[in-house]
Structure 1
Amino acid sequence: METIVPAETKLLAQRDFGIAKFWFYPNYLVGEFAEGMHVTKENALQPIRFAKQFYGDTPIIYISHRRNSYSMDTIGYKEVVDMFPNFIGFAIVSKNKYRRMIAHLEKMFIKRPIGVFLQLDEAYAWAEEELDKHQKHSSRP
């Protein structure tokens, strides 16, 4: 995976679950699903459980790096998002215009801030901004 992460950001773990590869950073998770995969809540349970255990209550941004072509069952979106109360935002990275258009439709299913980007570095910058906003909002009396 081509990653351009901020220099101070430490990769904490990397896992390949077959359906996808995931890179775990302190406050964001980068996922790249396998070519041709049909992603459902059921076949994504193993990485979901791992991420929940890994992050605990830590606020996180999920960055979906859509280099490959795959399909998703949107019916389970809300359930998956509800499993992560600490999930504060969702970034979608794709160089494919059609996939970026589809990504905008996902806003109907995910009631969290969503950003759609061409490059990973843009998504990382956005994630940092969203995390800063969340921290400022959470620390208000």
Structure 2
Amino acid sequence: MRAAAGAASKISGMDESQPCPCKRGEPFGACCGPALAGERSAPTAEALMRSRYTAFAVGDTDYLLRSWHPRTRPETLDLDPDQRWLFLEILRTERGGPFDDTGIVEFIAHYKADGARGSLHEVSRFTRIEGAWVYLDGIIEP
């Protein structure tokens, strides 16, 4: 089922004309917003990674769980409301294109929590289920 127009902003609380948190350079309504709203699927593993980062940034746990492989997905997900995601760096991708079934995205996600900056460096694995990209798992790098 597709969400109604403007659903992305209602779900996230973001204005669709605001810059997308993933920092790809497009407005939220043309970038990750439609994926969070269920209006379209991510076409690549990197696009799914960016939309998942955006979901963390706006606190959309429903999208995070929907876009997680059922075999590795937790039953619930509690985000720290005091953690503010600052920006995302994509370091590399392997496969994960429109014609692939698996992909890898290495990234660093920068955040601020308890008044201090931090970062999460992860190599994430993605796969497709019924044509849609999902997050499988990741290895956190030091």
- Which one has a larger percent strand, Structure 1 or Structure 2? 2
Please tell me the TM-score bracket, short chain as reference.
under 0.3
